[in-house]
Structure 1
Amino acid sequence: MARAAFASGLDPAQTAFLFGEGGNRVALDGDAAVVSAKGGIASWLDLPEAPDPKGLRPKRRYRTVWISDVHLGTRGCNADMLVSFLRSVETETLYLVGDIIDGWRLKKGWYWPDAHNEVLRRILKMAHRGTRVVFICGNHDEMLRPYAGLTFGGVELLLDAIHTTADGRRLLVVHGDAFDAIVLYHRWLAFLGDKAYELMLRVNTTFNAVRRRMHLPYWSLSAYLKKRVKNAVQFITRYEEAVAHAAAERGVDGVVCGHIHSAEIRQFGAITYYNDGDWVESCTALVEDFAGQMSIIDWLAELKKNAAENFVDKAPVAHEAMPTGVPA
């Protein structure tokens, strides 16, 4: 598909996202993304990167990794933390389970710092080096849904997928907005809720800027409130039940979704419900090892653990005190 044909169905904000604004624009031609006048995507992906942070552990290998709700294009996106996570893992398959790009926000105003480019670069680099990358469209990046079934830059674009685990279980992979009655039946309420959520994230961003100045770690106000507000807890429970019920009707063994920014593994009868969380509030991912075992990675907790271990490693060694001749 030529670039002009691809762009014709998009509004200016969507086209700006896909092709950039001025300078080095990314163009989508057929199945390959190229950087104009820069020798193609391969040379862009092979540009030197910043060195890995000191103390970074050897890469962990997984059969499958799921991430969702990155919300690139918003100030709430923790892009730097996601890049550090992606640099720490190797995986055969990477599922991007929707809301990777926040088209709703980009339509209202352009916000795209270098860190957000780095996320896309890291994902495309993984695809370039042999990782199967599957992009499941969400509601915030719904502008890509008309192109489901196509592949761009080595990234498969789908509405949903069936994943077979190493131990033979079949999992439905879907963003999950179809199970949210507000989004499905009352779209204007979804946009209203998005506005309130955006305001809360702005407060969260300012709050954490102050914490950084005080040398305190990141802490999510929105995640804290979500776990403690009764109505939010009840909604999450009903949502999980609805998703599990739909998975049972599809005849699968489990379901992987995102959408509600709440990482979880739960059993509903014969159906295992997995939610990979988000990279706005909690910074979590879902992973599968080579035996088919699934687990949630809390990247904030991992970073804190690594920092604590590095601090202990660098601490001075305590030596036995020399006798002073002074009675104790």
Structure 2
Amino acid sequence: MLRKFSPTIIGNITLVDKVILDLDGKKTWVFHGDVFDASIQHSKWLAKLGGYGYDFLIVFNQLINWFLLRLGKERYSLSKKIKNSVKGAVKFISNFEKTATDLAIENGYDTVICGHIHQPQKRMVYNDKGKVLYLNSGDWIENLTSLEYHNGTWQILTHPPYHKKESSIEVDDIEEINLPSLIASISSPH
């Protein structure tokens, strides 16, 4: 939706479709990746339908995980299971990665980073014209992943699953709040 406003600069925020970084003398191409998705480019209604289905799946999956956590079981990702078991999805992911890496090699990039397919990935890709480091950040909803560049190296960070701890507070444990004291403690310089 924001693509029609690209490029736009508002204060310290720049909205662009892609960015090319020079990191330690290496060219890094960063973009979302949806430009390679034919369903989004040519069938807007199909993309919207898929988006609604994905949103429903995420909400339904949260309900399932709520029950699993209550039973002492590990979280489960329905969309990951579906993506990994459907031949078309596996082929799409493979084609997506090949298109991104081939273009990156052709344009002389050392690294290509995207996230559209939400599959965390870090691997070196080779073809007859060269090589490129392919990175996919995954996502923060299903995979709890992100990318970090530190000391010249990229790594995929995976956050441990969130387990909400049940807590109960006894009424006897609650102290009466003295509002003037609370305000004074917040507003006084330390």
Shorter-chain TM-score category?
0.7 to 0.9
Structure 1 ranges of 4+ moved more than 4 A: none
Structure 2: distance between partners of 1:283 and 1:237: 22
RMSD: 2.1
Tell me the distance in 2 between the aligned counterparts of 1:214 and 1:155: 44
Partner of residue 90, structure 2: 233
CA distance in 2: counterparts of 1:224 and 1:239, whole angstroms: 19
With over 3 angstroms needed to count, the CA separation of the structure-2 counterparts of 1:181 and 1:159, relative to structure 1, is same
State the partner residue of 1:222: 79
- Aligned match of 1:293 in 119, 129, 153? 153
Question: Is this contact kept in 1: 2:27–2:110, CA < 8 A?
Answer: yes
How far off its partner does 1:217 sit? 4.2
Aligned-partner Cα distance in 2 for 1:294–1:151? 29
- 1:148 is displaced (CA, Å) by 2.6
Q: Deviations over 1:189-215 (max 9, x none)?
A: 111221222222122111112123234
Is 1:159 aligned to 2:17, yes or no? yes
Deviation at 1:183, TM superposition (A): 1.0
1:299 partner amino acid: H
The code of the aligned residue for 2:102 comes to: H
TM-score w.r.t. the length of structure 1 is 0.45
1:266 deviates by 2.5
How far residue 240 of structure 1 moved from its aligned partner, in angstroms, is 0.3
Separation in 1, partners of 2:45, 2:55:
15
Read off the aligned partner of 2:83 and give its amino acid letter.
K
Deviation at 1:162, TM superposition (A): 0.7
For 1:164 and 1:252, locate their aligned partners in 2 and report how far apart those are by CA, in whole Å.
Answer: 10
Matching residue's letter, 2:23: T
Q: Do the aligned partners of residues 149 and 251 (structure 1) sit closer, same or farther apart at CA in structure 2, a change above 3 Å counting?
A: farther
SS in 1 for 2:157: strand
Q: Residues 1-150 of structure 1 correspond to what in structure 2 (within 5 A)?
A: 142-143=1-2, 145-146=4-5, 148-150=7-9
1:206 aligns with 2:63: yes
Shift of 1:147: 5.1
- Residue in structure 2 matched with residue 263 of structure 1 by the alignment: 120
Q: Please list every run of 5 or more consecutive structure 1 residues that lacks an aligned counterpart in the other structure.
A: 1-141, 305-328
How many residues align structurally? 159
- 2:187 equivalent in structure 1: none
Tell me the amino acid that sits aligned with residue 134 of structure 2: Y
Tell me whether 1:272 sits opposite 2:133 in the alignment.
yes
Do the aligned partners of 1:243 and 1:255 also contact (CA within 8 Å) in 2?
yes
Greater RCO, 1 or 2 (C-alpha within 8 Å, sep 6+): 1
Q: Unaligned stretches of 5+ in structure 2? A: 164-190
Letter in structure 2 aligned against 1:180: D
Q: Percent identity?
A: 32
TM-score, structure 2 length as denominator?
A: 0.74
Corresponding residue for 1:284? 145
